[in-house]
Structure formats: structure tokens, C-alpha cells
Amino acid sequence: MGRKIRVKIDENRQIFIHNDLANAAYHFKERVEQKQRNNNHTIGLDMMGCIITLSFTNEARMNFLGYKLIEDWNEWQPIKGKVKEVARKLGTTADFGKRPYLTILEVKEFRDIFAHGKPIVVNSTHEAVTTQDEIDGYNILQPEWQRFLTLEFVQRAYGDFEEIWDALLKLAGLSVFETRTQGGRSIQFIEYVDGEEDDDSPPVKAT
């Protein structure tokens, strides 16, 4: 056990979680594309992971921009409100009626289904005009959210979210470096606290 010393520690750090989430979303997207090439049947799980992580990424990015740009930022407001507030601050408009901002609502719909997961129970008797092929292809166990689990949607969602992020960063005048998690620490020796001094390492008084 070493001798007790008194030190002065200066440290600074900024941890921006949107970086970790963006890396995870990219990881899932790459797995989806790889599994598509290899005809891997577990691809749906990676699509699910990618879309949900994109939702988290977008929200964390809006919280970052809100923290940087807006006094008394409310991180608890709905995502649509966050995006509108950030866009308004930057002098632009978030048009949720078309891409890329429309994709935010679609991804949110998917995310909410799983965030508020609940049973789906259907009991129905009805007549229909159809064909045998349509009957054979109808899967009663395929849920509504299954429509999002396509390579096209995953790539579109990823691309649209990157487009939004890049555009807002440019308007905010922020470099990519400023969005990164980073920090540093320096330690300055002051003195030994047990009354003994080392001849080879005399104490240095803090100034």
C-alpha cells in the first residue's frame, strides 16, 4: 500500500451519449446489409434493433442540440416538439409531412409499439372476396409493425436521420469534433500527508 499524498486534480469531461447510440445504429445497419447478402433468416431481429436504436439516437441528438442552443431546454417534451424547437432556433422548418422529417414519425411509431408493448387479441368472423393464393399468403400472426422490417426502410431511416443531423449541425455552426465525447485530467503533487518526505521526490506546493 503506497504512502498517502495530497494532490490537486483538474479534470473536464463531456459525455455525449448520442455518439454511442449512433455507433450502435450503424452496427445494426451493417449487420442487416450483411445478412441480406447472406440470406440470413434472423435479419428481422437486427432490423428491429436498428430502428429502435435510431429512435434513441435521434432523441439524444436533439437533446444535445437543445443543450447547446436553447436556455432551459426541456428534455422531457415529446420528440416532435424537440425537433420543432431546435429547427425554429436554427431558423429552419421541420416539415413532418415529407422526408426526411416524416421518417422521424414512422420510427417513433415503431419504437412506441415496443416501448409500450401490449397484447394484441383479435376475434373476428367476416366474409371476404379473395383468391386461393391470397388466402395461402395471409399470415394471421404477422403484426402491424412487421411492415417496417425491410432493408429499404432500415436504409431509408438511417439515411434520413443522418441527413437531418448533418443539416442541423451545419446550421448550428457546430463541428463534428464538438459533438464527440472527450475529456482530460491532470494531477499535481502537493505533499505527503504522513509527515515523511521522499528525498528523490520533494513535495511541490500548489500555486
pLDDT for 155-170, tens place per residue? 999 999 999 999 999 9
**Residue that wins the pLDDT comparison between 139 and 154:** 154
The per-residue pLDDT for 201 is 53
For the chain, give every residue range classified as CATH 1.20.120: 17-136+152-180
Q: Is pLDDT at 199 greater than 90 in this prediction?
A: no
Instruction: Cis check for the bond before 78: say yes or no (omega within 30 of 0).
Output: no
What number is the average pLDDT over the span 140-167? Answer: 90
CATH architecture of 17-136+152-180: Up-down Bundle (1.20)
**Residue that wins the pLDDT comparison between 187 and 165:** 165
The per-residue pLDDT for 205 is 44
| pLDDT range class, residue 10, cuts 50, 70, 90 | confident
| pLDDT range class, residue 207, cuts 50, 70, 90 | very low
Share of the chain above pLDDT 90, in %: 58
pLDDT in tens, 49-96: 999 999 999 999 999 999 999 999 999 999 999 999 999 999 999 999
Q: Is 179 exposed, middle or buried (0-12, 13-18, 19+ CB in 10 A)?
A: buried
What number is the average pLDDT over the span 165-194? Answer: 87
Q: Is 120 exposed, middle or buried (0-12, 13-18, 19+ CB in 10 A)?
A: exposed
Q: CB under 8 Å to 153, separation ≥6 — which residues? A: 47, 51, 106
pTM to 2 decimal places: 0.79
As beta bridge partners, residue 155 has: none
